[in-house]
Amino acid sequence: MTALDRNLEAYRLIYEIEVAIREFLIAWCEPVSGPTWWKDVLAQAQASKLERSSEKRAPPGPSEQRAKDDRKTWMSRRVFHPIYFVDFSELGAAFERKANKELGNHLVSRDAKAIGDHFGRLLPIRNAVAHNRPISAEDLGLVKAIHESVRGEVGVDAFRSLVDNPSSITAMQSEMLELLGELNDAAGAVARAQAVQLAAWGRLRQRWWLEPEWQLDAESVVDVFRALEKYREVWEQDFLGRVRRMDTWRVANWSEELLARARASLSRERENSQGDHT
């Protein structure tokens, strides 16, 4: 096996390990720590990075880096869960934090610390491969052993599913489609001065892709649903004079331009992501 073959095989295996673990965290941290769990992980990762840095100026955080990436117009725009912007070393550390102690319950051996140990051993080889430094046969052997171990810990079938069908992408596509359908139904109800149903919005309003730094034009989506929340409040005030009251509210507060932007944002991002990952 040539040096190139060793590095290519190591890259493939490390890619699978890394994607599987990122998607594992996405799948199980929310049930453990709530829908905004990833903000704590990012904050902890940034704090850890600052501790290791001797520079006065903090390195750019994930949101800053995302903003820079979005300005690179020559690149196709992709939407990734924020956990994809956490350093490789921090992924292992995530399994060792007390806040995530229940993660071990979803591993075969129930030993979350073992994942952290694997990432610590893998980091030097991962860095060498990332910077195109030839690795040894022993290095590749270690990568293979860790890959096999992580695959066993996550579960063979689950591991393959996480790698081949990232749950963060498929869930985002489904959520965008659901919100788009609810928005279209609500817009029709507003036009007819009828009650609006916002069940999907109530459940999905804290999703990661609605944060401005992660999803293109998320502000329009948030704003249009907040307007619908206000509409519902006014609609429920009293039956007497409701139609006239809602007509007045619509003229003063409802923007067809905002509605069109929100629809376009949900449709565009869903279709872009679907095209990238199906």
Looking at the fold, whether 144 and 268 belong to one and the same domain comes out as no
Looking at the fold, whether 35 and 125 belong to one and the same domain comes out as yes
Looking at the fold, whether 197 and 245 belong to one and the same domain comes out as yes
Parent domain of 246? 167-277
Looking at the fold, whether 133 and 20 belong to one and the same domain comes out as yes
Give the domain-ending residue among 164, 190, 221.
Answer: 164
Looking at the fold, whether 22 and 155 belong to one and the same domain comes out as yes
Looking at the fold, whether 222 and 104 belong to one and the same domain comes out as no
Looking at the fold, whether 173 and 157 belong to one and the same domain comes out as no
Looking at the fold, whether 99 and 131 belong to one and the same domain comes out as yes
Taking the model in full, what pTM does it have? 0.74
CA-based end-to-end distance of the chain = 33
Give the domain-ending residue among 104, 138, 164.
Answer: 164
Total domains present in the chain: 2
For the residues 5-14, what does the mean pLDDT come to?
96
Looking at the fold, whether 129 and 231 belong to one and the same domain comes out as no
Looking at the fold, whether 100 and 147 belong to one and the same domain comes out as yes
Give the domain-ending residue among 164, 195, 230.
Answer: 164
Give the tens place of pLDDT for each residue, 16-72. 999 999 999 888 888 877 788 877 777 766 566 555 554 544 555 554 555 445 434
Q: How far apart are CA 93 and CA 50, in angstroms?
A: 15
pLDDT score recorded for residue 140: 97
Q: How far apart are CA 39 and CA 45, in angstroms?
A: 10
Per mean pLDDT, which of 80-89, 103-112, 201-210 is the most reliable? 201-210
Q: How far apart are CA 121 and CA 115, in angstroms?
A: 10
The identity of residue 146, as a single letter, is I
Q: Give the rounded distance of the alpha carbon of 270 from its chain centre.
A: 14
